[in-house]
Amino acid sequence: MKTLRVPFLFLSVLVLIGFGCKGLENTAERPSPYNGDEVLYRAELITTTSYDSMRDFVTWEKQWRPIINNRDVKHAADTVRAHGKEWIATAKRLRDSYKISPTQTNKDALNASLDVISQALAEALGYMSKYTTTKKV
């Protein structure tokens, strides 16, 4: 089941990422803070949304740990606790590099770091989904 669920969730996150931007409003009267750069906007959108989701996940896991009673879930949350800041810091560093030099190489590196965050988020969403629909109390 897990092999089916996680790819689906990951795909859903990719859908969110892929459709997360359909052009930025950017006119002389209403200038974009991103100068119309969708890559930068998307990077910041994913970073902030992922942080919110990671925080929600670790809070949820800690609050409901006795009910969940599954070490795999705790270990997934502990992975986020241990590496979440590092993931965000890496994404920020690569976002800064892209902003300074918007090359394809820097863009690919930025997207790769966002994929790492997205995969952790997909696992978190998977656990939250599973334990809020199938766990009987």
Partner 1 sequence: MGPEEIALALGVINLLRIIGPKIAEAVKSGQVPVEKQKEIRAAYDSLTTDMDAHFTGPEWEIEPDDAPIAEVPPKAPPA
Binder among 6, 7, 14, 23 for partner 1 (CB under 8 A): 23
Give me 99's structure tokens: 């902003």
Subset of 51-110 contacting partner 1 (CB under 8 A): 51, 55, 58-60, 62-68, 71, 74, 78, 81-82, 84-85, 88-89, 92
> CA dihedral defined by 49, 52, 58, 61, rounded to 10 degrees?
-90
Give me 66's structure tokens: 């006795």
Sign of CA dihedral 68, 73, 74, 78: negative
Give me 73's structure tokens: 């879930």
Binder among 16, 39, 109, 116 for partner 1 (CB under 8 A): 16
In the complex, what is the shortest distance from the CB of residue 113 to partner 1, in angstroms, rounded to a whole number?
14
Counting every residue written for the chain, the total comes to 137
> CA 107 to CA 112: how far, in whole Å?
9
Binder among 7, 14, 31, 108 for partner 1 (CB under 8 A): 31
State yes or no: residue 116 binds partner 1 (CB under 8 A).
no
Task: Please give the size of the binding site for partner 1, defined by CB under 8 A.
Answer: 62
Question: What is the rounded radius of gyration, in angstroms, for the C-alpha atoms of the chain?
Answer: 17
State yes or no: residue 119 binds partner 1 (CB under 8 A).
no
> CA 40 to CA 38: how far, in whole Å?
5
Catalog residues that contact partner 1 under the rule CB under 8 A. Answer: 1, 4-5, 8-9, 12-13, 15-16, 19-26, 30-34, 41, 44-45, 47-49, 51, 55, 58-60, 62-68, 71, 74, 78, 81-82, 84-85, 88-89, 92, 125-126, 128-137
